Amino acid sequence: MDNHCVEHIAHFSLTVSLAIATLLGIAQFAHAQQTITLQFDSLPSAQGWTYFQGGSIPETSVFSVTGTSLIQNTIGTGFAIGISPNYAMFNVVEGAQPFVLKVRARVIATEGTDTGGFFFDVRTATPNQEYAMLFTTSSVSDPLGNSVAIDTTVFHDYVLMATPGSNYNLYIDGTLSLSGPFSATGGALNAIQLGDGNSLYANAQAEVTQFVFTTGVLQLTCDPTTGPAQVGTPYTADCTASGGTPPYSWSISSGTLPPGINPPTGSANTATITGTPTQPGSYSYTVQVTDSSAPTPQTAQQVYTGNCTRSLYVSQMAIFLNHGLYVLFVRLKNNGTEEATNVTVTVAQINTTLPLAPLPHPISNIPAGSETYYLLAFPSSAGISGQAAKIVTGGSYNIIGINPLQRFGHLKTLTLP
């Protein structure tokens, strides 16, 4: 296929099959493949969570359950050091294990001047690391102040994932919305938290309808997150698996690699995808890693979609009327790593009812990194002044224009004088 070059988008998807262990009463230290799910038929304190408030605020005055949700309302409780009613479950986070926190929530109202009147938190003790989502009604931020604007007064699905010691990714409704480093000042706890996280500057009314924390989850990271883009240009992607249960196996679980690109090869927790695209065209493929969890293995996937193209660059272009002739000047540069062969350029009119159809102008070959130019003259015709003409290249070459030219894949337009 001779599709024009588009942005390559790597969609990350994660499929996890877990042996679920529900932790109630006194929580024990989390190992691989454990999941903590908050139920909404009783308060968290009845499910092994510890209620904190630092003063004399009864739990039932600020938290309630409906059977399908947990309601927080700390508005009006005041601002004082340590007065931030929230829940914590201890000894459920391990510093070496990847985690995924999935929540569905909304913030109904806030008071105060800061974030964190409603928050979710994941902390490790050794070393001291904190990953958190801090809410206002119009944003979600991390402990370091990085934020994304979003209307949180409506329900959204939030997925916070990280391997302790590395950067986190926050997905909102399936879209990667925020990423960054952990905070090292969050308090040395192997714990997860939820509730009011700002005693001095913020309170909130909020609702939670899903809370699932999984540690030891299998995760896949590939660099780069874009697929091959240019025919003849060598490509390499390095993939790393973390979490789950070794050993791992690697595969392309769906789709087809571009011709010239090889399936993932490697051992242990790393694999490499290498090759040199040999043909232009669109592609879609899924890289998958599978662990050895029993009885059901975990899988993690990364999906690549995009186009491989050959590349020509319009470095200069002009069209003018001279003594009854339209004169077109075009300079083309081959930006690729292979020779562009059998290139032709045709000037044709977008409005095909008007008489403008000169024969293709051969350029022949353009070596990699080289430029060529040409002049093409053709008669003017009554009634076509002000119409848009286009140049079209033969073969599967992506034409990239310079400003102020508009980009239309394999064609460029200019208005006839």
Band of pLDDT at residue 69, cut at 50, 70 and 90? very high
Average pLDDT over residues 380-399: 49
Reference 109, options 210, 207, 40, 209; nearest CA is 207
Average pLDDT over residues 274-291: 90
Whole-angstrom distance, CA of residue 63 vs CA of residue 58: 9
Residue 190 pLDDT: 87
Residue 29 pLDDT: 34
12: pLDDT strictly greater than 80: no
Whole-angstrom distance, CA of residue 229 vs CA of residue 299: 27
183: pLDDT strictly greater than 80: yes
Q: Average pLDDT of the chain?
A: 77
Reference 227, options 172, 275, 177; nearest CA is 275
* Strand ranges, E, within 113-190: 118-124, 129-135, 139-141, 147-149, 156-162, 168-172, 175-180
Band of pLDDT at residue 93, cut at 50, 70 and 90? confident
50: pLDDT strictly greater than 50: yes
Whole-angstrom distance, CA of residue 121 vs CA of residue 142: 10
301-354 pLDDT, tens digit each: 999 999 887 766 666 666 666 676 666 677 777 766 667 776 666 555 444 444
310-322, strands of its sheet edge to edge: 371-379, 325-334, 310-322, 397-400
More confident residue, 114 or 370: 114
Whole-angstrom distance, CA of residue 280 vs CA of residue 5: 10
48: pLDDT strictly greater than 90: yes
pTM for the predicted model, two decimal places: 0.58
Q: Which domains does the chain have, with CATH numbers?
A: 9-14+218-308 (2.60.40), 19-215 (2.60.120.200), 310-415 (2.60.40.10)
The set of residues, in sequence order, having a beta carbon less than 8 Å from that of 5 and lying 6+ positions away, is 229, 307, 309, 311, 398, 400
C-alpha angle with apex 328: 326 to 331, nearest 5 degrees?
Answer: 175
Single-letter amino acid, residue 338 = E
Average pLDDT over residues 388-405: 43
